[in-house]
Amino acid sequence: MKRIAFYGGSFDPPHIGHLTIARKLSELFALDEFTFIPAFHAPHKKNKKPTSAFHRFAMLSLATENKGKIKVSTVELDAPERPFTYETQTKLKNDLPNTEIFFVIGADSWAEIDTWREWEKVLTLTNVIVVTRPDYEIDLSHVTKEIKVRLIDLQKNVAQKIKNGEQKIYITDAVNLDVSATEIRRKIRAKEDDWRELVPNEVAKYIEKYELYI
């Protein structure tokens, strides 16, 4: 059975945190593919106007250009109505019947997961991988018993049990990088040149060429 991870987000812009997650999780979970899914814009993130989906898609394509198993999907951008995550998961499950699917989210998304539409479906339709992030606790108080029994904590014990079979929720600290798109946009606006170190080179050139985030 193929093992594919899908990683949704705004990617505004894609940064080394996102790319490191793709690389490390591909190794750790012995994935056949890792696919970024840029969203129209995160439906639950308020007061935030994202950059055009075309720009965000282009930057992800550049960031993954020479990485054979790391891809970008247009599944959400192609949808006639902006889909919720559980709808995308359902579509992918139907389109990929003989595939073990993993959905990747960061610790900040985990902390607010119960605000997502049909969040219990999001956590049970497919496997989920929660990636820790500095300054974000992985708290479990907001999830139900049915969700808790699925948890497999891989923190500090990576070799533990990455099993086939029933859908699980894995928590991993294999990345734990303090990089955020918000901070990168702030640095660009403030003309703090070290923002370039936080994105792949091709993405930095693209941001400059199209004068994004200024």
User: 3-class DSSP state for residue 120?
Assistant: helix
How many residues make contact with ligand ATP (CB under 6 A)? 18
The residue (of 16 and 151) whose beta carbon lies closer to ligand ATP is 16
Buried/exposed code over 20-55 (b: 16+ C-beta within 10 A; e: otherwise): bbbebbbebbebebbbbbbbebbeeeeeeebbebeb
Within residues 132-171, the interface with ligand ATP by CB under 6 A covers: 133
- Please report whether residue 11 would count as binding ligand ATP according to CB under 6 A: yes
From residue 80 to residue 119, what is the string marking binding to ligand ATP with x (rule CB under 6 A)? -------------------------xx-xx----------
Distance CA 48, CA 93 (A): 30
Q: Are 117 and 19 in contact (CB under 8 A)?
A: no
Does 212 bind ligand ATP (CB under 6 A)? Our answer is no
Is residue 13 part of the contact set for ligand ATP (CB under 6 A)?
Answer: no
Q: Are 93 and 60 in contact (CB under 8 A)?
A: no
* Interacting residues toward ligand ATP by CB under 6 A: 9-12, 17-18, 105-106, 108-109, 131, 133, 175, 177, 179-182
